[in-house]
Amino acid sequence: HFARAGCRWKQLSKLQRSLILLVLVICGMASYPIVTEHLRGTAPVIKHLMVRGRSHYEKPQANHKGKLSNSEASCLEAVQKAFLHSWKGYKDFAWGHDELRPLSKSYSEWFGLGLTLIDALDTMWILGLKEEFEEARSWVATELTFNKNVDVNLFESTIRILGGLLSTYHLTGDTLFLEKAKDIGSRLMPAFNTPSKIPYSDVNIGKGTAHPPRWTSDSTVAEVTSIQLEFRELSRLTHEPKYQVVVSEVMKRVHKLEGKLDGLVPMFINTNSGQFTHQGIYTMGARADSYYEYLLKQWIQGGMTENQLLADYLQAIEGVKKNLLQKSSPNGLTFVGEITHGQFSPKMDHLVCFLPGILALGAHNGLPTDHMDLAKQLMETCYQMYIQMETGLSPEIVHFNMHQGSVQDMNVKLADRHNLLRPETVESLFYLYRFTGDHKYQHWGWKILQNFNKYTKVSSGGYTSINNVRDPDYPSPRDKMESFFLGETLKYLYLLFSDDPNLISLDHYVFNTEAHPLPIWPSAT
């Protein structure tokens, strides 16, 4: 497609090319396309030829000193509006199903458990959308059943379903959600019946059987170490130690394992041997990310007494500093790369953008102040991952330039240009704003929300993942709204724009990795 158009373009004379460009610029100015036009799938090839004018580096602080020009109320309203637009799509075309497919006005099923609805429950509560919440509650009361012959992923169903139900129970006091949480929690337990006590990735919640994926007996390290907040809380609420016992056993075993690099863990662990496998890659991104997050957050949840968790967290952050931190060229952005078989790779997943928030949360809880300095630097980098793209939305993965004389800080491979409406950057913006009060973080979040509205909003309802953040003329919609857009992205944006530190106080709640707030244990505060 691109190549053919490029060839034809080259065959034109200079004058012909200039004329076409002039016409395009005039047309472009006269009718700037609204987002739903981007999404109709009819963008002509010629659009790919347009010259892009975005400058690559935007000095961030310069004009962001003061408060947002919009009032707090209008920013909060903008997030409610985005939520209601998403909800309309879900309600009209995907009600009770896992995910909305907003373009085809249909749905996709992953576990068949109303994933988006459950993930969004506490968001509706926090955003004050009572009517929508009540409708969803009655679906949970009358339609939701876990007595189903389906395979679910242990990690995904723990963080989204168990986490979502537990936090909704806490916010509302409604025991319906606790009963449902107990039901799914107990149905997930067979996953822990393995020779090594490291859980399998998949459980059939109807049959009570568990198994690893078909092609391997490995589990993902981040998955088996990011279910602890939820199972520990379930034990506390039910007074049944079994849930906490199985997940704490995983942490103890991972703590003792050989094969870490200065506290950094490999990506896979074998459910038979209990050992790390496929060693050699150390990343803060996919398959390792929330291991680090849950070290810190379990320590906070339990009242900052579990010293081994803290020690592992502190060691890992030192490991990041020693092995993964570098600066980009030309603008000296601090970024977190990866180690691949002893070699540094300047690759950073958008997923890594959870890290500024976590570092800030640690510093807020008394960990070294240089964690906060690093948090601020990385926050800036994550924002640049958005703003340096033509749509102002981050790609899934960025490769940073390190050699002197580079003209831009980052490159994006063709296969990495998608944006799945992920939350990590706005999540970190929320933490940074809560702890520093610096309004620039709200400005950044506001810009990101505008860009989601411009490039991912579908007029008939919902927002969609896109394939190409580098093409504002045709971002190429993927036709899927992930449940975490409602569970996390919009919730964190709302909390970012709120000036009320008691709206989910970070001294009383700890967010699970799907943005579901769970209480810091009372004896702990």
User: What φ, ψ does residue 399 adopt, rounded to 5°?
Assistant: -115, 125
Residue 423 Cβ vs ligand DMJ, minimum distance, rounded to whole Å: 6
Query: Considering beta carbons, is residue 460 or 467 the nearer one to ligand DMJ?
Result: 467
Tell me how far apart the alpha carbons of residues 460 and 249 are, in angstroms, rounded to a whole number: 48
- By CB under 6 A, the residues from 331 to 370 that bind ligand DMJ are none
Residue 353 Cβ vs ligand DMJ, minimum distance, rounded to whole Å: 9
Query: Considering beta carbons, is residue 362 or 423 the nearer one to ligand DMJ?
Result: 423
C-alpha neighbours within 13 Å on the C-beta side of residue 517 = 21
What does the DSSP 8-state code read for residue 272?
T
Tell me how far apart the alpha carbons of residues 161 and 163 are, in angstroms, rounded to a whole number: 5
Which one of 293, 424, 471, 488 is the catalytic residue? 424
Tell me how far apart the alpha carbons of residues 149 and 157 are, in angstroms, rounded to a whole number: 15
Catalytic (active site) residue 230: no
Can residue 185 be called a binding residue for ligand DMJ (CB under 6 A)? no
Instruction: Tell me the two tokens of residue 73.
Output: 């109320």
Residue 47 Cβ vs ligand DMJ, minimum distance, rounded to whole Å: 29
187, 234, 235, 236, 245 from 239: Cα distances, Å: 17, 8, 5, 5, 12
Closest CA to 236 of 328, 302, 308: 302
Which one of 99, 293, 349, 396 is the catalytic residue? 396
| DSSP-derived secondary structure for 364-426 | HTT--HHHHHHHHHHHHHHHHHHHTSTTS---SEEEE--STT-SSSEE--GGG--B----HHH
Can residue 513 be called a binding residue for ligand DMJ (CB under 6 A)? yes
Residue 168 Cβ vs ligand DMJ, minimum distance, rounded to whole Å: 17
Measured from each CB, the residue nearest to ligand DMJ is: 513
216 is in an annotated binding site: no
Query: Considering beta carbons, is residue 290 or 451 the nearer one to ligand DMJ?
Result: 290
Catalytic (active site) residue 99: no
Query: Considering beta carbons, is residue 290 or 331 the nearer one to ligand DMJ?
Result: 290
Give the binding-site size for ligand DMJ (rule: CB under 6 A).
7
CB burial class (10 A; 0-12, 13-18, 19+) of residue 114? buried
Query: Considering beta carbons, is residue 64 or 486 the nearer one to ligand DMJ?
Result: 486
Which one of 119, 230, 289, 514 is the catalytic residue? 289
Query: Considering beta carbons, is residue 227 or 473 the nearer one to ligand DMJ?
Result: 227
- By CB under 6 A, the residues from 366 to 425 that bind ligand DMJ are 422-423
Catalytic (active site) residue 233: no
Is there a contact between 337 and 379 (Cβ–Cβ < 8 Å)? Answer: no
Residue 350 Cβ vs ligand DMJ, minimum distance, rounded to whole Å: 8
> Contact letters (x/-) for ligand DMJ, 421-450, by CB under 6 A?
-xx---------------------------
Tell me how far apart the alpha carbons of residues 435 and 495 are, in angstroms, rounded to a whole number: 13
Catalytic (active site) residue 179: no
The sign of the torsion formed by the CA atoms of 399, 402, 404, 409 equals: positive
Q: Is 509 helix (H, G, I), strand (E, B) or coil?
A: strand
- By CB under 6 A, the residues from 465 to 494 that bind ligand DMJ are 484, 488
- By CB under 6 A, the residues from 258 to 297 that bind ligand DMJ are 290
Is there a contact between 273 and 207 (Cβ–Cβ < 8 Å)? Answer: no
Residue 71 Cβ vs ligand DMJ, minimum distance, rounded to whole Å: 30
Residues in binding site for Ca(2+): 513
* Residues in contact with ligand DMJ by the rule CB under 6 A: 290, 422-423, 484, 488, 513-514
User: Which residues does the annotation mark as catalytic?
Assistant: 156, 289, 396, 424
